[in-house]
């Protein structure tokens, strides 16, 4: 993605929104959105009505959250599928004792690591 702003101090393009409060100026009180450069800590100020960067950040954050949620769902589905496979091995009368032990051990590790209890 092309950076919408660059740090006037170091030229960095990664910013994190921060709160610095109300700005007092000779023209009176006004609100600004402030962003800290993640490379050097320099603060850049933008008026909310002209803050395209904030809108882009919101879109990126929403996309990131959606991707993380999809990843969590895929991981949960994969773990559930593996648990079902292990239970089949454990409950199959044709499984060897060794297979059952290994499956039970993996299931126990999977269950305790995930915080699930059967």
Is the pTM higher than 0.75? The answer reads no
The pLDDT tens digits of the residues spanning 20-78 come to 765 666 666 666 778 888 889 888 877 665 566 667 777 888 899 999 999 999 999 99
CB neighbours of 68 closer than 8 A, spacing ≥ 6?
none
The pLDDT tens digits of the residues spanning 62-117 come to 899 999 999 999 999 999 999 999 999 999 989 899 999 999 999 998 888 655 44
Q: What is the spatial distance between Cα 58 and Cα 48, in angstroms, rounded to a whole number?
A: 13
């Amino acid at each position: 993605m092309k950076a919408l702003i660059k740090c006037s101090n170091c030229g960095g393009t990664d910013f994190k929104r921060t709160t610095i409060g109300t700005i007092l100026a000779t023209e009176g009180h006004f609100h600004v959105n402030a962003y800290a450069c993640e490379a050097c800590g320099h603060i850049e100020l933008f008026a909310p009505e002209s803050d395209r960067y904030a809108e882009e950040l919101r879109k990126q954050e929403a996309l990131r959250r959606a991707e993380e949620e999809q990843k969590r769902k895929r991981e949960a589905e994969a773990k559930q599928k593996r648990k079902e496979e292990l239970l089949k091995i454990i409950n199959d009368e044709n499984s060897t004792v060794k297979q059952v032990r290994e499956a039970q051990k993996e299931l126990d590790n999977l269950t305790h690591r995930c915080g699930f209890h059967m």
